[in-house]
Structure 1
Amino acid sequence: MTIAVLFISFFVLMLIGVPIAISLGASALFTMIVATDLPLGSIVQQAFTSLDSFSLLAIPLFILAGVLMSQGGVSKRLLRLADVLVGYLTGGLAIGTVLASMFFAAISGSGPATVAAIGSFMIPSMDKKGYDKPFAAAVTATAGSIGVILPPSIPFIMFGIVGGVSIGGLFLAGIIPGILVGLALMFVSYRTAKKRNFPTEGKFPTFLEVLKAINYAKWALLIPVIILGGIYSGFFSPTESAAVACMYALFIGLFVYKELTFKKLYSVFLEATLLNIPVIIIISFSISFAYLLSIERIPATIAQFITGISENMIITMLLVSAFLFVVGMFIDTISAVVILTPILLPVAVAVGIDPIHFGVIMVCNLAVGYVTPPLGVNLFVASHISKVSIERISRALVPFIIAMLVVIVIIIMIPQLSTFIPNLAK
């Protein structure tokens, strides 16, 4: 009864256009009134106390760091480096878009931020050079989804908080899967460009040109080194690394690249604030929703149901992945992580999956949700930049989504892809 009321009311509210954060809170409140004896004040208490977390502070700080880097000239330098490294290949601009997104993802931790920062440069460039515009928007949208797989990743932070898993370990675990997703998207870009005879730009770079490009982008490339190096050397925690990233981005934007000014900082902080507000509201009500699930022992019931189908690790993870793929179409990634981690993590552990490996599987699956209608946030950002309809971009996305799903299956089959680097760091 409780499960039915909770999920039916949630999806009804979603279908009639109620914002997801309000849908989460309202469905939890309605269920408490209709199907439980819990005090109504507990939903507000959970929403408020959920934000009193030192680890959670990393999310607004990484969002701020991403905006500072985007406005401070970081994305421009990363694009130049990517162009030098792969611009000479067939479909070089598309491949360079994926590579630049991987660089920026290792800085921002956000999918939509990566699409906005890289797409604003690359979509017009690809259009001008004769690339199909829906294809240009599709490759940018899917490349942006790497932003939640490579460290620092905001969904990894939420998974670590909710699941009690090492955030630093999750950051390291995302490196190889993130690179694999990037390579898969590059391969699809190359094959599509070859098939459609997209133009090839540039020439094979000399060693000196590569060194110059690396030197031009060196301050930007140091950011992920500082973040991960600081965490694993013991100098600071993941949350403190977000504050360090903000200070570093502010310093290079103001005094090294000099593309930030003190007058421009107002718009930077305003943009970061507007990005943070919906994220924080979603997190607070998601935790209230998850609290109701746990009180009613819904996670244990669902876990028992899934393990009852099969106790084989691979079959179970494929079933969970199919479920997460569908969920990602309709529910925001952060909300999905908060709600589903208490449900699915016990299932993973029961069939012998390492919690860090499962975190990677979960986030990779939900990353596909960034580019699947109707809620694909990256789709909307790419559509806005390219002025191409969601429908046309969605058709161009199909081979990219298939490539991402193939990589997810490989990650499930080979756990060492996720656990190798974290195990080295122990």
Structure 2
Amino acid sequence: MSIALISGLIIAIVLIILLIAGVPIAISLGISSILAILPTLNFEATVITGAQRTFSGISVFTLIAIPFFILAGNIMNKGGIAVRLLNFAKLISGRVPGAMAHTNAVANMMFGAISGSGVAAASAMGSIIGPIAEKEGYDADDMATINIATAPTGLLIPPSNVLITFSLVSGGTSVAALFMAGYIPGILWGLGCMVVAFFIAKKKGYVSTERVTMVQALKIILEAIPSLLLIVIVIGGITSGIFTATEGSVIAVLYSLILSLLFYKTISIKDLYGIFKESAESTGMIVFLIGVSSIMAWVMAFTGIPSAISNGLLGISQNPVIILLIINFILLFVGTFMDITPAILIFTPIFMPVCLNLGMSAVQFGIMIVLNLCIGTITPPVGNILFVGVKVGKTKLENIIKKLIPYYIVIFIVLLIVTFVPQVSTWLPTLLGY
């Protein structure tokens, strides 16, 4: 039996046992990785090398962007920005059938992109728009469903922490290129769900009765412009080369602070302690996870696990379509019970070499793996966005799952387009010279 097979089995078996036992994912990754390398190296060398890999894994300048984007997202989530974006989205949606559902979708795309969190988008938009939609005669289950289905779009539309994480684990894929690559797939996801919502609205007779005067529209636009400018400043600065993604994350924090403290005046100085504390806790978990995952990446490279998996997949079929479908299926399955960040850290080094050998670019693969795992966030049994959306929508899971099926179909179509049409994710980065 080869070293790669032995190490791979040890990692898989130990990791599954520890996760079932309720051991935190970071600890599970570290223990399974160290046990997998012991048949090859002695214990002392393994521990020393593991410690070195952990520190080298987090000693990356680009990684600093993650805590700052998390902080910026938390400030925006509590700073009244969601309400302004929701009003602006409602203005865009107009009075077409299902206007409130379209408003929810557009608002999720904008707020999810600005905050970088699908959970924050689902929570903020669901809690604000749900009661309004109910007064206009919308079914609470239908509104909860569109909210859940579109909340993950902000994980693809930049700025996105998961794309930064992929950049790190993939060996330095351009963050700016990944950011630009996420726009079209994220927007396609949102628009596809809006098409489904339109037909549901036509069937059920959901029509908006609210009229907005020119004065009200102008006020809504003026209040939303400062929030929307954050995307323009941060993404525009990164893509034009004025500053890096890390510097852009700091600018996002400063801008959101000024906006919430001085312009909107929705948070006070004393609110900042709780925001900083929450951001520090989230950052600590993510950074520790990234550091420990570096041990697993080293173990895989040292024992040749990615190469063995690549050969195994090629042994099943030489057809690239079949191989990519298998990879997508595995990622979709993994996404149903594992959070996005650890899944990216574990499966990027496994599947990326395979996809690169098939002619896929690192940027396209990054969008494909993130899109797969985003679907997992709205899929049982562990989908965090799914359960948050159910909770804020004040409904039940069994009421939502059936209604999500047409949305799943549209999202899967988007996934297939991203997988087999490279231009969907590479056209914009190429156009901008990345």
Establish whether TM, by shorter chain, passes 0.5: yes
Partner of 1:236: 243
Distance 2:257 2:369 in 1: 33
Paired-residue identity, %: 37
Q: Which amino acid aligns with 1:332?
A: D
CA separation of 1:26/1:137 partners in 2, compared to 1, >3 Å: closer, same or farther? farther
Distance 1:185 1:322 in 2: 21
Deviation at 1:268, TM superposition (A): 1.8
Deviation at 1:199, TM superposition (A): 5.0
Partner of 1:23: 28
Deviation at 1:420, TM superposition (A): 1.1
Partner of 1:125: 132
CA separation of 1:33/1:386 partners in 2, compared to 1, >3 Å: closer, same or farther? farther
Q: Which amino acid aligns with 1:176?
A: I
Q: Which amino acid aligns with 2:196?
A: V
Partner of 1:413: 420
> Which residues of structure 1 form unaligned runs of 5+?
none
Match of 1:174, SS?
helix
1:50 aligns with 2:57: yes
Q: TM-score, normalised by structure 1?
A: 0.93
Structure 2 counterpart of 1:182, from 190, 199, 208: 190
1:245 aligns with 2:256: no
Q: Is the 8 A contact 1:313 1:352 kept in 2?
A: no
Partner of 1:196: 204
Deviation at 1:243, TM superposition (A): 0.6
Deviation at 1:367, TM superposition (A): 0.8
Q: How does 1:263-342 map to 2 (within 5 A)?
A: 263-342=270-349
Q: Which amino acid aligns with 2:312?
A: F
Distance 1:126 1:17 in 2: 39
CA separation of 1:22/1:97 partners in 2, compared to 1, >3 Å: closer, same or farther? same
Partner of 1:10: 15
Q: Is the 8 A contact 2:96 2:207 kept in 1?
A: no
Q: Which amino acid aligns with 1:401?
A: Y
Distance 2:382 2:26 in 1: 13
1:259 aligns with 2:269: no
Structure 2 counterpart of 1:162, from 146, 151, 169: 169
Structure 2 counterpart of 1:369, from 370, 376, 382: 376
Of 35-44 and 264-273, the range deviating more from structure 2: 35-44
Partner of 2:179: 171
Equivalent residue pairs, number: 425
Q: Is the 8 A contact 2:166 2:348 kept in 1?
A: yes
Distance 1:207 1:129 in 2: 22
Q: Is the 8 A contact 2:134 2:140 kept in 1?
A: yes
Deviation at 1:111, TM superposition (A): 1.7
Structure 2 counterpart of 1:140, from 142, 147, 168: 147
CA separation of 1:380/1:112 partners in 2, compared to 1, >3 Å: closer, same or farther? same
Deviation at 1:295, TM superposition (A): 1.9
Distance 1:47 1:394 in 2: 40
Q: Which amino acid aligns with 2:386?
A: L
Q: Which amino acid aligns with 2:296?
A: F
Q: Is the 8 A contact 1:21 1:281 kept in 2?
A: yes
Q: Which amino acid aligns with 1:149?
A: L
Of 287-296 and 206-215, the range deviating more from structure 2: 206-215
User: How big is each residue's C-alpha offset from its partner over 1:359-381, in whole Å with a ceiling of 9 and x where there is no partner?
Assistant: 11111111101111122111232
Distance 1:170 1:153 in 2: 9
Q: Is the 8 A contact 1:188 1:400 kept in 2?
A: yes
Distance 2:129 2:311 in 1: 47
Distance 1:18 1:390 in 2: 26
Distance 1:405 1:349 in 2: 22
CA separation of 1:57/1:409 partners in 2, compared to 1, >3 Å: closer, same or farther? same
Distance 1:283 1:185 in 2: 33
Deviation at 1:291, TM superposition (A): 2.5
Structure 2 counterpart of 1:153, from 152, 160, 174: 160
1:98 aligns with 2:99: no
Q: Is the 8 A contact 1:50 1:287 kept in 2?
A: yes
Distance 2:71 2:98 in 1: 33
Distance 1:94 1:397 in 2: 14
Distance 2:312 2:410 in 1: 30
CA separation of 1:44/1:192 partners in 2, compared to 1, >3 Å: closer, same or farther? farther
Deviation at 1:210, TM superposition (A): 4.8
Q: Is the 8 A contact 1:65 1:245 kept in 2?
A: yes
Partner of 1:395: 402
Q: Is the 8 A contact 1:231 1:241 kept in 2?
A: yes
Q: Which amino acid aligns with 1:192?
A: I
Q: Is the 8 A contact 1:254 1:261 kept in 2?
A: yes
Q: Is the 8 A contact 1:330 1:375 kept in 2?
A: yes
Partner of 2:3: none
Match of 1:150, SS?
coil
Q: Is the 8 A contact 1:20 1:331 kept in 2?
A: no
User: How big is each residue's C-alpha offset from its partner over 1:341-388, in whole Å with a ceiling of 9 and x where there is no partner?
Assistant: 112111111111121111111111111011111221112322332343
Deviation at 1:235, TM superposition (A): 1.5
> Which residues of structure 2 form unaligned runs of 5+?
1-5
Deviation at 1:107, TM superposition (A): 1.0
CA separation of 1:24/1:134 partners in 2, compared to 1, >3 Å: closer, same or farther? farther
Distance 1:267 1:7 in 2: 38
Q: Is the 8 A contact 2:110 2:154 kept in 1?
A: no
Partner of 2:365: 358
Deviation at 1:102, TM superposition (A): 0.7
Deviation at 1:33, TM superposition (A): 4.5
Match of 1:202, SS?
coil
Distance 1:117 1:182 in 2: 17
Distance 2:301 2:394 in 1: 43
Distance 1:7 1:365 in 2: 21
Q: Is the 8 A contact 1:25 1:289 kept in 2?
A: yes
